[in-house]
């Protein structure tokens, strides 16, 4: 389990730091084998950069033959204001719609004045981000927090 989390952390750091162009493109056989053991992934994040990075990691895993049963991003904080119709993130997300679940924290939405009807299609509202991540962990997801 530590190897899985360590491998994921390295991948995510590379992607989130903007080095995905120069970063790891190929996972070794052991990394793929380890990741196959728990094919459900959950992320909680607060920035646009991490949102894009975690979506890009989905591509990296798929391209390397990692089986993904579930892949969920839980969003809280100011990035919630960028998940609205007509935004750059809506366009970026289109490729992942139906493949990646995105849950948006209703507490963050309320604090930041984002109405549910302004969110772009493909997003789910969750009561609180923290409780949603605890649910994912209880259901056997590998989870990372940004």
pTM of the model: 0.84
More confident residue, 40 or 13: 40
Q: How far apart are CA 31 and CA 69, in angstroms?
A: 17
Average pLDDT of the segment spanning 31-47: 96
Closest to 60 measured CA to CA, from 17, 27, 90, 36: 27
3 has pLDDT over 90: no
């Amino acid at each position: 389990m530590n190897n899985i989390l360590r491998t994921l952390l390295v991948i995510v750091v590379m992607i989130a730091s903007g080095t995905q162009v120069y970063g790891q493109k190929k996972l070794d056989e052991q990394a793929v084998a380890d990741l196959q053991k728990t094919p459900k992934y959950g992320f909680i994040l607060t920035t646009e950069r991490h949102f894009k990075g975690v979506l890009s990691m989905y591509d990296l895993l798929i391209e390397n033959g990692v089986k993904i049963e579930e892949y969920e991003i839980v969003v809280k904080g100011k990035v919630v204001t960028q998940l609205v119709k007509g935004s750059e993130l809506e366009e970026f997300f289109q490729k992942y719609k139906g493949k990646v679940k995105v849950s948006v924290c209703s507490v963050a939405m309320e604090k930041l004045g984002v109405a549910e009807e302004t969110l772009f299609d493909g997003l789910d509202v969750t009561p609180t981000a923290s409780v949603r991540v605890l649910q994912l962990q209880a259901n056997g997801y590998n989870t990372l927090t940004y």
